[in-house]
Amino acid sequence: MPANDRLLVLLRHGQSEWNLKNLFTGWRDVDLTPAGVEEAKEAGRRLKAHGITFDLAFTSALIRAQHTLDLTLAELGQTGLPESRDQALNERDYGDLVGLNKDDARKKWGEEQVHKWRRSYDVEPPGGESLKDTVARALPYYCQHILPAVLGGKRVLVAAHGNSLRALVMVLDRLTPETIPSMELATGVPLVYRLKPDSTVASKEILTA
């Protein structure tokens, strides 16, 4: 793959223990389920099948993203790849909702309110972060660390979380606060971007099964 490929791959971690239990997770440090481990390995196999390798990786301060990264790179035969970990890429902090079952939360506060907390752009759950807040920490980190590496010719993998990656996809795909709520990211499915020299998107491919 040529050095000027400007490759950026975003990968949401595999299913976590609290995804399985339908709990709000946020910054709580839970690991992958066996299914999540397999999703991370499968992401590596899909990338390998497309001939994609990396020079550099970024991940969050949370184990489910780090474990996903390790398993994916192992499938690519790239263990030991230089990586940076930062809580700027952590999942949204769900505040008082952390540890609550999502169905129980809907019964307590109503379907509409919980949907606003989970998917709207600027409505924050009690004691937690909105997506807007997550963008405010993830985007500067992207601009200062990830994007310069990509534009400099490095092939970059970012293993992170549904909302920290939605913050980046919002910018890459030019989504708005009105269109971002409907955007979902599947666990363990690589999003392959190739960028133009001006940092806009030349192409995007979703590596589904």
* pLDDT of 79: 94
Mean pLDDT of the chain: 94
Q: What is the pLDDT of residue 200?
A: 96
pLDDT of residue 183: 86
- Domain at 182, CATH number: 3.40.50.1240
- pLDDT value, residue 3: 46
Handedness of CA 2, 58, 21, 125 (dihedral sign): negative
Q: What is the pTM of this model?
A: 0.94
Q: What residues make up the domain containing 159?
A: 3-206
Residue 91: exposure state from Cβ atoms within 10 A (0-12, 13-18, ≥19): buried
Domain total for the chain? 1
Looking at the DSSP assignment, which residues form a beta bridge with residue 205?
192
The whole-number pLDDT of residue 87 equals 97
- Which pLDDT score, from 0 to 100, does residue 207 have? 95
Please report where in the chains the tokens 């979703």 appear, as a residue.
Answer: 206
Please report the pLDDT score of residue 1 as a whole number. 43
42 noted as active-site residue: no
**pLDDT at residue 4, as a whole number:** 62
- Which member of 39, 42, 67, 91 is catalytic? 91
Among 13, 39, 124, 129, the active-site one is: 13
Q: Is 13 a catalytic residue?
A: yes
| Spans in the chain with pLDDT lower than 70 | 1-4, 209
